[in-house]
Amino acid sequence: MQKIMALNGKLYRKWFLPRVLGAIALAILSLLPLIVLAFPVNKFAANAVKSEILPAPAIKHEKSILDFGNKPVAFAPEYFALAASFEINKDSDLDHCEEIVSKAMLKLPSEHTAALTAINLTGKKMERRGYGGYGSIDLQCVNLDDAELVGVLVHEMGHIVDIDYLTGGYTAASAFIDFDRYIPADDASVDFYSISWVNSGRRAKETSKMDFVSIYAMTDPFEDFAETYAMYVLHGDQFKRMAAGNSALQEKYDFMKYDVFFGQEFNGSGQRLNTSARIYDSTKVKFSLDKFLEV
């Protein structure tokens, strides 16, 4: 009996085990093509996988939940030209805020304002002072002075220009993703992003703080665009001084000048900035609103 068992054990090791192992190996090998196919092979799918590991996405089209049940307000005659392109909604008595916003919008190219559908003004405190992108802007009219309000407005208009004015042909995806939306490779904004960024969440290796107009511009490519736009419009002279000593900033200045503002430059009416340091964000720079608004 013992002899048979010993013989069986020998047989098991010699024949049975190798056959089972061989069958398992064969099964794995035959499944291999299926495993490989399960991984993305096209560019869109590859980006979709990449987006899962990106840090917090840009917030430019994140909308606040506000009640703008009011009907659009009538425009004063001098703003009639603007009424054709966008409307201003208010959730309370915000005439002064509306007047400042309307006047400031007249300072921007009509091509930019035409990309906008609505500006929603609120008398309530929002989590952020403003939101912009995908055709509309939400602005908080309380707890900030007129100059800061215009600073926030112009920053949000930067998002509108980035997303709604500069658009691509939607043919192929770039490495840049705004939430779940791919920025097309032929969108002119991609040329701007590429100055300092490799994708939506990663700055190019060789960039430094000095390559950005503000610390906030370093958040992501979309904030970089909006901050650069705001600095160009409100502090053009200071931006120019900073760009004189930095090639990345010079590229960003030139992009705004030629690709966004048709060669138009802004003088700026604000405080002189230290070119070897960077401010936190564009709205923190003091400037004369009267000078900016004067015709």
- The candidate with the shortest Cα–Cα distance to 265, out of 240, 290, 283, is 240
Decide whether 97 or 230 has the Cβ nearer to Zn ion: 230
Decide whether 73 or 221 has the Cβ nearer to Zn ion: 221
Binding mask 256-295 for Zn ion (x = CB under 5 A): ----------------------------------------
The region of 74-82, 169-177, 220-228, 241-249 touching Zn ion under the rule CB under 5 A is: 220-228
Decide whether 226 or 256 has the Cβ nearer to Zn ion: 226
Decide whether 213 or 226 has the Cβ nearer to Zn ion: 226
Contact status: 161 vs Zn ion (CB under 5 A): no
**List 121, 183, 226, 230, residue binding Zn ion (CB under 5 A):** 226
| Number of neighbouring beta carbons within 10 Å of residue 78 | 10
The region of 3-11, 171-179, 182-190, 225-233 touching Zn ion under the rule CB under 5 A is: 225-233
The region of 88-96, 117-125, 218-226, 279-287 touching Zn ion under the rule CB under 5 A is: 218-226
Decide whether 10 or 284 has the Cβ nearer to Zn ion: 284
What is the size of the binding site for Zn ion (CB under 5 A)?
A: 1
The region of 2-10, 221-229, 235-243, 255-263 touching Zn ion under the rule CB under 5 A is: 221-229
Interface with Zn ion (CB under 5 A): 226
